[in-house]
Amino acid sequence: MTTTLITGASSGIGAELARQLGAAGDDLALCARRTDRLEVLRAEILAAHPDRRVAIRALDVTDDDAVFGVVREFVEELGGLDRVVINAGLGKGAPIGVGRYDANRQTAMTNFVGALAQAEAAMEVFRAAGRGHLVMISSMSALRGMPKTMTTYAATKAGVAALAEGIRSEMLGDPDLDITVTTIYPGYIRSEMNEKVAQQTRFMVDTETGVRGIVHAIEKGVDSARVPSWPWKPLGTAMRHLPLGVVRRLT
């Protein structure tokens, strides 16, 4: 039995990850700022799978002390954690230099500094246990710099990917630790974060389909995955090498 912690689990990709991993047999530790939604999600999962354990906690990932405290509480309640999915994030932002530093800073603090705190807390647990699986949700936007409202968001997701790769590199060199690090690069998956633009965006897939691909990659324990694989696996390769002006038109 695998025990999986998911941050940002109250909606969108996080909530659907909880549903699908719960259906696959995982016990769950779910946290987000909105506990009312977590309560509903827990009831839904337990109704479908009465033998699961589903623990919930309120968590704002920009509160460092709370991040470490909640992770430790889950460890105590559930007897350990086998996997941590760092999913919590914000999609807000503004073009650089238009007077909305507040929005960009909030995105940066949530998506990168918050992810760093979560990774620190998770890795403390895994190092103590000698094993574990750290999953970092990045974004296809991390592959290149993005314009306008996406600039800061893409930069934070690039940071998340680099953080994950650095941890993975260290783990590859430590024979005493059995810790897997997986970086997920989602393409356009419909969620509450992007519901206002979902119908206008090319390559958008529904939440259930997109998360099914994420779960497949997580369960395989791959180093990284672009999800859904079509069109994002070939498109991601193109994004890395095409001129920036062409990339802008593609995305």
Residues that are catalytic: 153
Q: Which residues of 84-103 are buried (b: 16+ CB within 10 A; e: fewer)?
A: bbbbbbbbebbeeeeebeeb
Strand, helix or coil at 33? coil
CA distances from 21 to 5, 15, 28, 201 (A): 10, 10, 8, 28
Place of tokens 């996080």: 14
Question: Rounded to whole angstroms, how far apart are CA atoms 205 and 203?
Answer: 6
CA nearest to 189, candidates 244, 141, 145 = 141
